[in-house]
Amino acid sequence: MSGAVNEPASEAAPVEAAPSSREERPEQEACAGRRVVLSTHQLTKDFKGLRAVDHLDLSVCEGDVFGFLGPNGAGKTTTIRMILGLIYPTHGHVQILDHRVPDQRLDALRHVGGFVDVPAFYDNMSARRNLRILGRMSGQVTEARIHEVLDMVGLSTRGDSRVGGYSHGMRQRLGIAQALIHRPALIILDEPTSGLDPQGMKDVRELVRELGRQGTTVFLSSHLLHEVEQVCNRAVIMDKGRVVVQGPVSELRPASMSIKFVTSDQPRAAEVLSRLLGAASIADSGPESLRVTAGDGLVPEMVRHLVAEGIDVLAVVPAVEQGLEDFFLQLTGASAEERAREGGAREERAREGRASGEDDQ
């Protein structure tokens, strides 16, 4: 883990009764016989005037690359901090293998590697020396293992370079190397592609994908639906601290998708498709392209209608990188205005909490 997770928890632990022997274990069913590496049970966190995480139940199975999805402010980082024992839950608990958090935090974290927000290193030291020093905080580390993890993340040729000269993407990869060094049962990555250029994002995604192919269990926090679709096999989507939906990634697709049309007459095309699908389905109209929200099975019918009206269809492009926000709007039925108002209210309550010494969400 990065140095941050070795900090003592910042709050007094609440007293919680031991779980009932008859407590339901739905995560066993979700994992279909595989070992449950991480699970949360009614996990809840309240700050002053704000419920950041609301009775969260999820399970991560051995070998999963598990996506933890949600927009900024959904409660993802707060959840990860509770998983790592950096802050205590208001209610509920975390289970890592056979250890409960926060009660058995130190025993649990021996099985976990990863970082929150951004990995922290000594900039004036080489990557190799950083791994040697930081790795020994959690146990013995061999030079062979250091070389192995540097090679896994593509930094073997830069292992003796000062970390202060690393790009942001290289630091992210070094953070993953540090997470892997003790061969933990679970890797937790909090927005690992945040702030990266397209090539850096591709490199980190390919690294996470390779970890999954090797059978490493990864818990990947992200606000990018497209990113999770590329690398994860299971996921949970959070909004306002609550679970919206969870399951196999292949089942977490919107019932409709955005499709871009380029035609010889965009205004007339918008009129024709509005009559076919309804005006609400025309998400955006402009001189260069027309964006329509509809099931992909309707594309041939839309093209036929346009051609029948004498409109040339020059291109039909599925918008595969549909924003997660659009998916949430479909799932929750909330309007953009409602979400904007709620987001502003949540931010105001969060500022009040921070001013009173509470943790950020």
Domain ranges of the chain: 3-251, 257-318
pLDDT computed for residue 260 by the predictor: 82
Decide: 9 and 102 in contact? Cβ < 8 Å. Answer: yes
Is residue 158 left, alpha or beta, with left meaning phi > 0 and alpha meaning psi from -120 to 50? alpha
Q: Higher pLDDT residue, 101 or 329?
A: 101
Read off the pTM: 0.70
Is residue 142's pLDDT more than 80? Answer: yes
Per CATH, the number for 257-318 is 3.30.70
For residue 26, which of 15, 14, 42 has the smallest C-alpha distance?
42
For residue 211, which of 94, 114, 344, 314 has the smallest C-alpha distance?
114
Is residue 340's pLDDT more than 60? Answer: no
How confident is residue 331, by pLDDT bands cut at 50, 70 and 90?
Answer: low
How confident is residue 201, by pLDDT bands cut at 50, 70 and 90?
Answer: confident
Class of domain 3-251: alpha beta
Cα separation, 346 vs 52, in Å, equals: 9
The average confidence (pLDDT) of the chain is 80
pLDDT computed for residue 80 by the predictor: 94
pLDDT computed for residue 116 by the predictor: 84
3-class secondary structure for 235-271? EEEEECCEEEEEEEHHHCCCCCEEEEEEECCHHHHHH
How much is the average pLDDT of 292-303? 78
Q: Which of 301-310, 311-320, 351-360 has the lowest mean pLDDT?
A: 351-360
